[in-house]
Amino acid sequence: MRSVFFPRLVNDPFGDPALYVRVAHRGEALLFDCGDLHSLTPRELLKIRAVFISHAHIDHLVGFDTLLRLFLYRQNPLTLCGPPGIIERIAHRLAGYTWNLVEGYPLALIVREWGVPHGRQALFRATDAFEQSAGADFDCGEGVLFETPDYRVRAVPLDHGGIVSLAFGLEETLHIAIHRDALEARGYLPGPWLTSFKALVRRGASAHTPIAVPAVGGEEAHPLGELLESIAHTERGMKVAYVTDASPSLANGRKIVELARDAHLLVIEATFAHADLDRARIRNHLTARLAGFFGRRARAARILVFHHSPRYQHEPLRLVREALDSFTEGQEPTE
Ligand SMILES: [Zn+2]
Ligand SMILES: [Zn+2]
């Protein structure tokens, strides 16, 4: 299928967690976790529209200052989503600097905190010296933290040694492909009407909705349903799941499989070898074999593993191999 999301790990699998996802045709990107970001260019960083933080361990949040420094001059707001407590943490983080002489900085930081059934949202503006504005609740019933007409990001809470580590599912909304040759054959002219047409289809508008279609012989009106059949087809959107810092428990496993169901790509931590399961339990991380097994159970098309413990640095491919073997052979992990 055609890709709308182009995910890549910012660092090598032994480095800090950060997944950069470029969104096709939108000139924007999303960032999952915010470890060391120095290998991203300012141009890449400035494309980031929203950041999703699994939890506030330092290797997942240390890059925040890199972003903040660059974003002070940016007109568009930056949204940061994270687990319970993230608003307070970001408030403290921002309070760690002096913010006089900031009148010219346009940045607005929107922080959205996952919660059930309601999440909380707070706004921090550079021009207010990043004082927190009054927060508001939002409906977080299905775990949706961020939504645009093109995609949405849903969070699922995993246990990570007594704290919440959020796993994220990035899902493209229904994909609508336009057949250019069908447009031409009918004399329809491409233009902004196609964007509105797609938006109506995604919204589930009635098949009878009249659509104004600019055509070679002048404007025509056609019902939405007829156009959908004659010039377009729909297909399931692309899905990427991001899972990290999860205790190797059955409960976490079930949630991971549900989140990653039929994903085109599952990006998942493989921190320890399964031979070191005892250590994985103590440190509250997944093993490579579990990572592969969950990917297989979820029927993900591909997996990409990361967040390796430095103890395997002398055999750098061991965890990748273990995860892929388990993913392709579906070996049930043994206790
Ligand atoms: Zn971590
Ligand atoms: Zn952690």
Ligand (nearest to CA of 159):
2
Residues of the chain with pLDDT under 50: none
Q: Ligand 2: distance of its center to the CA of 92 in Å?
A: 20
Separation of alpha carbons 45 and 21, rounded Å = 11
Ligand (nearest to CA of 35):
1
pLDDT at 141: 80
Ligand (nearest to CA of 33):
1
Q: Are strands 265-269 and 164-172 parallel, antiparallel or unpaired?
A: unpaired
Q: Ligand 1: distance of its center to the CA of 182 in Å?
A: 50
Q: Ligand 2: distance of its center to the CA of 9 in Å?
A: 17
Q: Ligand 2: distance of its center to the CA of 295 in Å?
A: 21
pLDDT at 101: 83
Q: Ligand 2: distance of its center to the CA of 251 in Å?
A: 18
Q: Is 127:102 a contact under the CB 8 Å cutoff?
A: yes
Domains and CATH numbers, the chain: 5-173+237-329 (3.60.15.10), 175-235 (no CATH)
Separation of alpha carbons 109 and 128, rounded Å = 11
Q: What is the pLDDT of residues 64-76, one digit of tens each?
A: 999 999 999 888 9
| Longest distance between any two alpha carbons in the chain, whole Å | 73
Q: Ligand 1: distance of its center to the CA of 171 in Å?
A: 24
Residues with CB under 5 A from ligand 1 (ion): 59, 245
pLDDT at 155: 98
Look-up: residue for tokens 């045709």? 25
